[in-house]
């Protein structure tokens, strides 16, 4: 059976504003995280962001290939594998999903102002639903809180 797939429709916040907090929540569950993007520049930017996003926070992580990937609590990668045995996978920039069953939860963050990103997310929703994944859709309220809409 496939894992959960959560879609976060970003309209009021950017990936840089949302991702660090979601990663922190993932780690607090005792899970490892894999962050996938096909864009190397995005991964390098996130590498810096995760070190500095909040003064009172430390997010242990590494870029794939810059150490022992298997030991990383959070791994940033453009690859389709899961070398750190992550329970949660974050998909950015239309990254390939791979197998949904490989993760307890896959979180798709997509820009609601980018029509091609919205279309890609809809296609992934349809495919995941067809494969038996439990899918949910999250949208940010006017007050900035995330609300489950489907």
Instruction: Return the closest-CA partner of residue 23 out of 84, 96, 99, 94.
Output: 84
**Residue 22: its pLDDT value, please?**
96
Considering the chain, what is the average pLDDT of its residues?
93
Rounded to 5 degrees, φ, ψ at 73 are -65, -35
**Residue 2: its pLDDT value, please?**
64
Label residue 1 by pLDDT band (50, 70, 90): very low
Percent of the chain with pLDDT over 90: 77
């Amino acid at each position: 059976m496939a894992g959960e797939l959560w879609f976060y429709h970003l309209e009021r916040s950017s990936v840089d504003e949302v991702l660090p907090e979601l990663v922190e929540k993932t780690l607090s569950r005792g899970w490892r995280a894999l962050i996938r993007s096909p864009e190397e520049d995005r991964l390098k930017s996130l590498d810096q962001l995760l070190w500095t996003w909040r003064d009172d926070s430390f997010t242990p992580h590494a870029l794939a290939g810059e150490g022992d990937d298997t030991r990383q609590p959070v791994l940033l990668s453009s690859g389709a594998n899961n070398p750190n045995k992550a329970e949660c996978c974050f998909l950015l920039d239309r990254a390939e999903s791979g197998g949904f069953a490989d993760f307890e939860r896959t979180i798709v963050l997509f820009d609601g102002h980018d029509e091609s990103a919205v279309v890609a997310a809809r296609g992934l929703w349809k495919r995941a639903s067809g494969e038996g994944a439990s899918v949910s859709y999250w949208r940010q309220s006017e007050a900035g809180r995330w609300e489950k809409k489907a």
